[in-house]
Amino acid sequence: MVAAASCVVALGTVTGLLSALDDGRGSDEAAPRVTSSPRLAPLPAVPSASPSATTSPSPSPATSKASPSPRKSGNVRGPAAASTGLYRYADSQVLEWVRAHPGDSRAQVIGSRIADRPTAVWFADFSPSTIAGRVRAVTSGAAGQGRVPVLVAYAIPGRDCGGASEGGAPDLGAYDDWIDGFASGLGSSEVVVILEPDSIAQADCLAEDERADRFASLARAGRVLKAANPGARVYYDAGHSGWNTPAQQAALLKQAGAASADSSDGIFSNVSNFHLTSDEIAYDRRVLDALGGPAGLGAVIDTSRNGNGAPADGEWCDPSGRRIGRAPSLDTGEARIDAYLWVKLPGESDGCKGTPGTFTPSYAYELAR
């Protein structure tokens, strides 16, 4: 799938919850699993580089570095050695809301548990003339702090199979040019690129020749991004553990260049979805085994909303009873799992509890509690 409220919590309780989140406790408790995960929410244009999208794959087509550093022993590809950690971009909807509502009874919880966390920055609008500058604004800010930004490239033609998150470049030629501009803004410091959520796992809505053309363009994108900045770590769409089988997903990933060291550092899963981190770890390792390729390929997992796992009824649009998952980290302690990331910004609605793609404080508060 993926895509995609209000009591006051005592300060002592919040502090305890924060401690649990920081060390990984209190998230991913056993919860009913769902094998389907519908789609997202429409994406407003990204004015500069603020995260604006919510995406989520679904098994059903109807629903849709400071110069390169070696992988550390364990699981991380060296960011903790090259930088101090992940970058929190200062221009996001949740930060804007917290700053504008200091007296709101929910502001402290949302601020400490969501706004203070580093999240991905989405580039979801097709804007060839400004993309390089907007990417550069994020990467240069991160480099100045010695931190690693997470960027989401989300402009592939036909994205979301014409669903709620439809949009992107008008054709693959235009998309290739957009990627060239994106790459020119990457700078030379370490950066993580989440390349086109849903673009591979949900490609079954395309005709065979269209799918082959898309995959060729994605392979090119990875090569261009890594050639522009050898410190760029590019991850390809692996869907999530409730979607395609590992063998099916690996076969698609190979066609898109994800098994080549020239274009890929591995895979990402669970973007805007809710599957438990433990399920994603097991699934990602099976995908990587089936994918083959260089020994250093790893996986990153979106843990932004999976603290309670997927809802039992298969609901994907702002489902109730969810909560934020493990804190974003470049050191997971898990072999072949490079990072836990907050790719989908908690509190940005899938379209049921608020306007799609926009920050909804009641939903954020529900997740943060």
pLDDT along the chain (369 residues), means of 10: 30 31 35 27 31 35 28 35 73 96 98 97 96 98 97 96 87 98 98 98 96 98 98 98 97 98 98 97 98 95 98 89 97 97 95 88 96
Identified catalytic residue from 125, 160, 237, 338? 160
- Residue 209 is a catalytic residue: no
Let me know: does 49 contact 148? Beta carbons within 8 Å: no
Length of the chain equals 369
Specify which residues 121 forms β-bridges with: 151
Domain residue spans of the chain: 11-368
Identified catalytic residue from 28, 125, 198, 318? 198
Q: What pLDDT score was predicted for residue 28?
A: 41
**Residues contacting 348, CB < 8 A, separation 6+:** 4, 41, 51, 52, 53, 54, 93, 94, 357, 358, 359, 360
Q: What pLDDT score was predicted for residue 277?
A: 98
Let me know: does 3 contact 270? Beta carbons within 8 Å: no
Class of domain 11-368: alpha beta
Specify which residues 348 forms β-bridges with: 359
Among 314, 252, 304, smallest CA distance to 280 is for 304
Let me know: does 169 contact 155? Beta carbons within 8 Å: yes
Identified catalytic residue from 237, 284, 338, 350? 350
- Residue 350 is a catalytic residue: yes
